[in-house]
Every structure is written in C-alpha cells, then in structure tokens.
Structure 1
Amino acid sequence: MRKTMNSNLIFFDIDGTILSHRTFTISDSTRAAIKQAQAKGNLAFLNTGRTLAEMGDDILEVGFDGGVYGCGTCIVYHGDVLYHVTISTDMIPALQQDLRNCKIEAILEGSSAIYYDKEYTNPVARQIKYDHMNRHDFTVGTWETPDISFDKFCIWPSSKDGLDAFHNKYKEMFDFIDRGGNFFEVVPRGCSKATGIAFLRKHKNISYENTYALGDSSNDLPMLEYVKHSIAMGNASERVKSMASFLTKDVDDDGVAYALRHFRLI
C-alpha cells in the first residue's frame, strides 16, 4: 500500500551518526530507537556516502526500509533498486590513468564491489584497504578486475597541483566533496544525499513537512539543507552544527534515540 502524506521519512547517515567512530559499532539504544520509529509507521532509510558494496552485515541487520547509497547514486526500497547511476565503463581506463598521472590515490566504490590500487602511501587509504580486505561481508577487487564497475570514488591527492589538474578536467562530470584532511569524495554530477531524498519523497508521496535527517559531516550538508527537520549529532563538525535545526547528543551518548524522542517519532 502506498504511504500517505502523513507518514514520516527519516534518513540516517552511517559513520558518526548511527555507527560510533570510537567503538565502530551500532549501539543497542540506536537499534531499538530505529525499530520503535518504524513500529510507529515511520520509514527509516540509510543515507550514506557508502555504496551498497560497503554495507556490512552489522548495518543491514538493523532492518532499514531502504537506503540512499553512494551519495545519491543508488536508491533501494525494501530490496528493490529504484535508481542507479554508474560511471561509464568507457571512461574508466582514462580516469584511472589520469588519477595516476596526477599522483592521486583513489578507492573506487561500486554497488557490487570496492576496487583498490596495488599500493597506497596515504595512511587513511591504506588503513581502509586493510580493513575492507579483512571483512568477510565485503566484495573487493583491484583496478585491473575484469568488468570493473563503480558509482563513485574517494581520492587522496599528493599535491594541490595534481588535484587542480584532475578537478579542472573532470569538474563538469563530477561533484567533488571536500571531507577535510586531504580527502575528497567524487560523485557523478547532480547526485547527492538530497537528490536521493527528493526521489523517495516523490516515490512515496511524502510531504516536505514530514522529512527528517540525522548527520555529522560535510557530505551530510545537502540532505540536512533539504529536509524540514535537520538534526546534527553532538559529535558533528561545527559547519554541520551551525546549519542544523536541532542539535542532539553525541553518537556515543544515545544521540539518535534522543533526537527521535525529541521529535516524538518514538
């Protein structure tokens, strides 16, 4: 049955919002609060920079109604893929070569797998590769994997000149999200967490007044700016805190449950 205009859409970022940066787990309080919100007829969606291939069992078992993945490149509702944008396979070889020529390290993120280059000097990229390679619930490959397919990618440039050269060539094709610390997410132009919400609002016929989003970092800004009720975690960046309509507690201090209670969603 199609939801009515009175239902609520609630969007949750993952890292730093439902998943603690300290324990790397989702608390029992957060899991229970999401379930309680759903029991009251609300729709709970992930809205994340992670692609489908980066959805671990620990996240999926929470039981969300669906998700906006890869910064709006893939939208899923109850297991059905409603929307999916991938980077053209024809441009992948040139894109990879340009990344290497500009001395930019990158992780390529798809819906079916995550792809790594042979070597990384950036410690963050190296740690991500190590963590992912040691997970049983992630499918991983290399840049040379046959039939490689990805939706977005993360980059760590070694110099401003290299970043500028790459950005100037691809700025009409991709949006570059500055995550700080010399880390950027690169997403097909026009895709964002906000466009994912707009798509689901139309698909489920949900009023703008009934939209909520919880986040903590710069890639959450589009969705927080789009919804009626924007919620910043207590551990959010100052930029996120300054524009949100409500500041909840830290992710490690039951911030999700606190926010949902505040808005009487549970």
Structure 2
Amino acid sequence: MIKLVAIDLDGTLLDGQKKISLRNKKALQKAREQGTKVVICTGRPLAGIRPYLEELDMQGTGDYSITFNGGLVQKNATGEIVEKAAMKQEEILDLVDLAKKLNLPLDVLSDDVVLSLPTSAQHLSIYPQLNPLLTFQAAAVEELTSERLYNKAVVGYHQEYLDEQIAQIPAIYKDRYEVIKSRGNLLEFMPKGITKAYGIASLAKDLNFSPAEVMGIGDEENDLPMIEYAGFGVAMENAVEQVKQKANIITASNEEDGVAQVVEKYVLS
C-alpha cells in the first residue's frame, strides 16, 4: 500500500504554463482524503512553492515539503525545519572559484534569499527569470561569512553554453558535491549525499514508512535518486531517458495529467 506520494513540480505536477491541472488537483485531494501523505519534493525553497501549496490546500498540520533537492524537510504550516543538510562556507567559496574559471554566473540560496555573485561579467544569470517568486540580492564574495546558512548553489544559464561549460568541470567536483541538472538550463550543486532521496528517506523514517510504501514521481536528472529510492518509482512520459530507465512505470506527460493518471490507478484504486 502506498502511504506517501512524493512529487516533483516542474515538468511533473506543473504543465508548461506552470499550472496545476484540475484533474491533478482532484486526484491529490482524494489521495489525501484517504490518508495518503502527498509531499512536494523540489529544488526550490519553501517560499518559492507557497502559491502551489495554497492551491492544493496543503498548509495544515501534518503537511510537509521537501525543499532544496532534499536539503530541508519542512512543515508547510509553519516552515519549521524537521531535517536539515546545508553547505559550508569553504564549499561555497570553492564553487565561486569554479564558476569564475568556467565564466558562469553563480547564485547561492541562503535561507529565504538568493545571493547573486559576480562570477561572470559576460554571462548574467537567468535564475531570477526561472524563479521569480524568490528574493534576489546582489552580494560580494566577501559577504559570504561562516555565519550564513547556505542551502545550495546554482547556475542558471542558456542550455547550449551551460552544457559546454559543464563538460569542462573537473571530475573532482563530482566527488565533492552532488552535481545535477534540474532543468536543461539549470545546474545545481548540493552537499555530497544530499538528494531528493535523502529528504524523502528522512521524512519516511520520521513517519515510520518504508521505501516500499513510497511513490516518487519525477522527470529530470535531480529526480533520479528519488525514483530509485521509492518502492514505486514513476517517470513522466516527458522525463529524461535515464529517469525512464530506472522507473517502475512511465505515466503520461505533464501536459496530459500524468500525475493524476498514476495516482488514480495505483493509489486511489
């Protein structure tokens, strides 16, 4: 029996217009009414998904979200952090050096603020366009003190150039960090070992659920650990190939209510 459904947002629950369809809403509402936990699992901070939580009426006691790609498990009603994994100051400075060498923009998520760093004069970050709900603040490298909370670092830039630069990242960085693409134009750096699977596993343990009782639904590279962890891993039809290969089942695309279809068939029936 599936007791927890963990769902990615972009390319999964949301359509191309960043909307949640009526069928998806109804399916998730029915799942919650029968006692199934529905958890948004995203790379965004909680502030960046509030409108969706409101729309889904998932802001009550007992509602959780997994944010920062598994770095935080939070209570939706209060924002209280249940589980946390963050980056260290020296790791952020290490990534600043890398971004400068690759001539890429770097944004660092620090609690409710995104610190935009001057790592590339020629290539400006498109991360504000990708996440307009977030608060952005220009910051100098000298402002990156050890007292700050650093959730993750991201590079938001046009895919063709970004992919060219990704190919030049030394292998040692993949040993130090989780280096993942969450969209074609978004590269993310997380603490080593911290993935969506880590966040889901932490919450499942708190709730006394086993992996076999978890459904994970996603489409992108950063969803792969979640798909592998869940007893029932679901890939969207529009998912990248490596996610499809690891999934137990492939549902319809995010434009065809794929979340609702798989929930209706395997959670509600």
Q: TM-score range by the shorter chain?
A: 0.7 to 0.9
Correspondence for 1:29: 23
Question: C-alpha offsets along residues 167-214 of structure 1, whole Å, 9 cap, x if unaligned?
Answer: 53x444312124585753211011011111111111001133211011
Query: Which residue in the other structure is 1:185 paired with?
Result: 188
Give, in whole Å, the separation in 1 of the partners of 2:8 and 2:82.
19
Equivalent positions of 1:145-224 (< 5 A) are: 149-155=149-155, 156=162, 159=165, 163-164=169-170, 168=172, 170-178=173-181, 183-224=186-227
CA contact (8 A) 2:216 2:234 kept: yes
Q: How do 1:125-164 residues align onto structure 2 when only pairs under 5 Å count?
A: 125-126=125-126, 128-132=127-131, 135=132, 137-144=133-140, 149-155=149-155, 156=162, 159=165, 163-164=169-170
Q: Quick one: distance in 2 between partners of 1:158 and 1:33? A: 41
Gaps of 5+ in 1: 1-5
Could you tell me whether the CA contact under 8 Å between 1:116 and 1:129 is conserved in 2? no
**1:46 positional shift:** 1.0
Could you state the TM-score of these two structures normalised by the residue count of structure 2?
A: 0.81
Verify: 1:43 aligned to 2:37, yes or no.
yes
1:96 CA drift (Å): 2.3
Equivalents in 1 of 2:66, 2:235: separation in Å? 18
1:61: how far off? Answer: 3.5
Size of the aligned set, in residue pairs, is 252
Could you tell me how far apart the structure 1 residues matched to 2:38 and 2:199 are? 13
Give runs of ≥4 in structure 1 deviating > 3 Å.
58-61, 89-95, 117-123, 145-149, 156-162, 170-173, 178-183
The amino acid of 1:72's aligned partner reads: G
For the residues of structure 2 that align with 1:60 and 1:9, how far apart are their CA atoms? 19
- In the alignment, the residues of structure 2 paired with residue 239 and residue 97 of structure 1 have an alpha-carbon distance, to the nearest angstrom, of 30
**SS of residue in 2 equivalent to 1:34:** helix
2:240 is aligned with 1:237? yes
Backbone CA RMSD of aligned residues: 2.8
**By how many angstroms is 1:228 displaced?**
0.7
Maintained 8 Å contact 1:54/1:114: no
Say if 2:72 is the partner of 1:77.
no
Contact kept, 8 Å, 1:179 with 1:219, in 2: the verdict is yes
Deviation at 1:60, TM superposition (A): 4.6
Structure 1 residues 121, 183: CA separation in 2 closer, same or farther (over 3 Å shift)?
Answer: farther
Residue of structure 2 in register with 1:9 after alignment: 4
Contact 1:53/1:109, CA 8 A, preserved across alignment: no
1:105 aligns with 2:105: yes
Range that drifts further, 97-106 or 76-85: 97-106
**Cα distance change of structure 1 residues 131 and 17 upon mapping to structure 2, 3 Å threshold:** closer
- CA contact 2:181–2:221 (8 Å) conserved in 1: yes
> Secondary structure, in 3 states, of the residue corresponding to 1:58?
helix
- Tell me the secondary structure at the aligned position of residue 252 of structure 1: coil
**Displacement, 1:88?**
2.1
SS of corresponding position for 2:217? strand
- Conserved 8 A contact 1:14-1:47: yes
Give the C-alpha shift of residue 131 in structure 1. 5.0
**Aligned CA distance change for structure 1 residues 203 and 115 (closer, same or farther; 3 Å):** same
C-alpha separation between the residues in 1 aligned to 2:242 and 2:35?
32
